[in-house]
Amino acid sequence: MQSTIRRAVETSGVGLHTGCQVKLRLAPAPPGTGLVFRRTDLRDFEIPALRQHVSRVVLATTLMKRGVMLSTVEHLLSALYGLGIDNLYLDIDSLEVPILDGSALPFVEMVRRAGRVWQDRERTFLAVVQDLEVRDGDKFIRVTPAEQLRITYEIDFDHPAIGRQTLDLRLTPEIYADEVAFARTFGFLAEVEQLQQSNLIRGGSLENAVVLDDEGVMNGPLRAPDEFVRHKALDLLGDIALCGYPVLGHVHAHKAGHALHTDLATRLARVSPSCRLVTEESVSVARPSRP
């Protein structure tokens, strides 16, 4: 069955790229609503969290509808997608979701505080029935049929603190909360000045990102030795959420990023011929337990 949260919950923080203070409120929504952002500073202007509204994917995923923008949505969407929350209003009073600690864990904790409510409508899943692939040179994401969502992610950075890392998980809400949500975004000190000159990461700090210099991690310790690849998987799930349905398939990503992630969401959202919509009753998917 579909689900929402029991009661509204709020948080506030700074936007990673804008540096602006922003308030975020998660509120229950009726069955069939989906995940819908509402800009409370603009008379509750609604921007559904769907691939058709993606406008930019440079360092973060940005949505835009009729000129109204909302940036850095991927961590929040990842938490909701990973926990299996179907319907929610995401009320925000600025143009960027707060970065908080740079991971999805604060959003998971918000959902836990709010509680889950089951709704009287079946979930619809997007089942991958034929192999599909998006590629950019040696970077690719390949999806093959599977009975549940499985994520395999591989990264390869020429940096002593990262190198090659691989993550392989069969995703459930419990596994997402324990194995993915805590992983923080990361960046390189050498790129900070250039990004700031481009009016980016104005809200970035050692408190909301893992920062690496030429030798290693400046603000350790890491939350896990492979925190970097876990965060890439976190981003992938947030971007896949934009296809509008929970996916059944094995998603294998190699050196990918937001551009390929959202390209995949576009392919999935087209449904045919590689995918088909299936009802909850027709697939052997266990109901997500309370996160």
pLDDT at 17: 84
The answer to whether 214 and 190 have CB atoms below 8 angstroms apart is yes
Provide CB contacts within 8 A for 49, sequence distance 6+: 34, 35, 36, 37, 63, 73, 77, 90, 241, 242
Helix (H) or strand (E) holding 110: helix 105-114
Q: Average model confidence (pLDDT) for the chain?
A: 93
Statement: residue 284 has pLDDT above 70: no
The answer to whether 29 and 116 have CB atoms below 8 angstroms apart is no
Q: Prior bond to 246 cis, omega within 30?
A: no
| Lowest mean pLDDT segment, chosen from 130-139, 168-177, 203-212 | 203-212
Statement: residue 285 has pLDDT above 60: no
Statement: residue 280 has pLDDT above 50: yes
Statement: residue 290 has pLDDT above 60: no
Statement: residue 197 has pLDDT above 80: no
Q: Which residue matches tokens 């991958």?
A: 128
The answer to whether 219 and 211 have CB atoms below 8 angstroms apart is yes
Statement: residue 199 has pLDDT above 50: yes
The pLDDT confidence band at residue 286, using thresholds 50, 70 and 90, is: very low
pLDDT at 198: 74
The pLDDT confidence band at residue 218, using thresholds 50, 70 and 90, is: very high
Active-site amino acid positions: 258
Statement: residue 291 has pLDDT above 90: no
The mean pLDDT of 223-247, rounded to a whole number, is 97
Q: What is the DSSP string of 218-263?
A: TT---SSTTHHHHHHHHHHHHHHGGGSS-EEEEEEEES--HHHHHH
With pLDDT > 90 as the criterion, what percentage of the chain qualifies? Answer: 83
The pLDDT confidence band at residue 42, using thresholds 50, 70 and 90, is: very high
Q: Which residue matches tokens 């809400």?
A: 173
pLDDT at 58: 77
Number of C-beta neighbours around residue 168 at 10 A = 13
User: Do β-strands 116-118 and 3-5 pair in parallel, antiparallel, or remain unpaired?
Assistant: antiparallel
The mean pLDDT of 256-275, rounded to a whole number, is 92
pLDDT at 195: 78
Statement: residue 152 has pLDDT above 90: yes
Statement: residue 287 has pLDDT above 50: no
Statement: residue 75 has pLDDT above 60: yes
